[in-house]
Amino acid sequence: MIFDLFRLDGKVALVTGATRGIGLGIVEALSDAGAHVILSSRVPKPEVVQHFKDLGRQVDYLQGDVQDPAVPARLVAEAVKLGGGKLDILVNNAGVAQHGDTHSFPEAQYRRLMDINVDSVFRACQAALGPMRAQKSGVMLNIGSISGLISNIPQPQAAYNASKAAVHMLTKSLASDYAEDGIRVNAIAPGYITTDMTNGGLADPVWGPVWRDMTPMKRPGSAIDIGAAALYLCSPASGYVTGEVLVVDGGYTVR
C-alpha cells in the first residue's frame, strides 16, 4: 500500500529544537508514523516529553545548547546509544531569527546567529555521517527558510537570510557527496509559520499585514504543515529525493 511508504516503524530520529514550534510539529508527525524520536532542546520541557509518552509514542529526551561547539556531536552520539546503536534520521531544526540593519548589526548577535543556524547544523551532520555511513543508510533534514531564497520585507535581516542560504547549500552539497553511501539530505524552507518565533512579527501592525498580503493564501501556516512535509522527506515515500529544498510557504515565493 502507498501509505506504508510513510511509515517509520523501527526508525530512530533525532530532532533538535524539538520542544516547541516547528520542531514540535515534526516530532508529532514522525512519532505518529512510528519512529522512535529523540527530542533535544536547550531548555528542558519534561511536560512535552510526557505528553508524547502519554499518547503511547516512543520518545526520549536529550538536553543541549547547540551553540556550544561540542554539543551537536554529543547529541548524535547519545542518540545512537538510545537508538540501540543506530541513527536513521537527523532533523536539524534548532535555529534563531534576528532582525536588524546590517550597518549597525552587533558582532555578538551575528556570531550567535551563525553559530546556531549554520555551524551547529554542519557539526550535527558531520557527526551523523559516521553512523549513517556505517549503516549505508540515513536521512538528514535541515530546516532552512524562504529567507534563504528571497530578501524579505519590510524587516531588515541580511544576516539571517545569509544563514539560511548557507543551510540550503550545505544540504545540496552533502546530498551530492554522500548519495553513494545511501544517505539522503534534504531541506524544508518554511514561509511564515505561526510559532513563538513569529508571533511578534505576525502581530506587528506594520510587518504582519505585509507578510499576509504577500502570501497568496493570505495566512500563516502551522507547525503541522511543516511536520507533514518533514514526514514525507524522512520516509521511504521520498526515497528518490535528495538535495532538494522543499518550499512550504502558502505561495509567498511564487510572486
- Give the Cα-Cα-Cα angle 117, 120, 125 (nearest 5 degrees): 115
Model confidence pLDDT, tens digit, residues 198-217: 888 889 899 999 999 999 99
Mean pLDDT of 36-52: 97
Q: How confident is the model at residue 255 (pLDDT cuts 50, 70, 90)?
A: confident
Report how far residue 141's alpha carbon sits from residue 143's, in angstroms, rounded to the nearest whole number: 7
Bridge partners (DSSP) of residue 141 are 91, 186
Tell me what the pLDDT averaged over the chain comes to: 97
Local structure of residue 218 (DSSP, 8 states) = -
Bridge partners (DSSP) of residue 12 are 36
Bridge partners (DSSP) of residue 15 are 39, 91
Question: Which residue do the cell numbers 527558510 mark?
Answer: 145
pLDDT > 70: percent of the chain: 100
Active-site position among 61, 160, 192, 252: 160
Is the pLDDT at 191 greater than 90? The verdict is yes
Mean pLDDT of 25-35: 98
In this prediction, residue 164 carries a pLDDT of 98
In this prediction, residue 128 carries a pLDDT of 98
Active site residue 160: yes
Domains of the chain: 2-247 (3.40.50.720)
- The answer for residues whose C-beta is within 8 angstroms of residue 144's C-beta and 6 or more apart is 164, 165, 167, 168, 171, 187, 188, 189, 245
Is the pLDDT at 182 greater than 90? The verdict is yes
pTM of the model as a whole: 0.96
Mean pLDDT of 68-81: 98
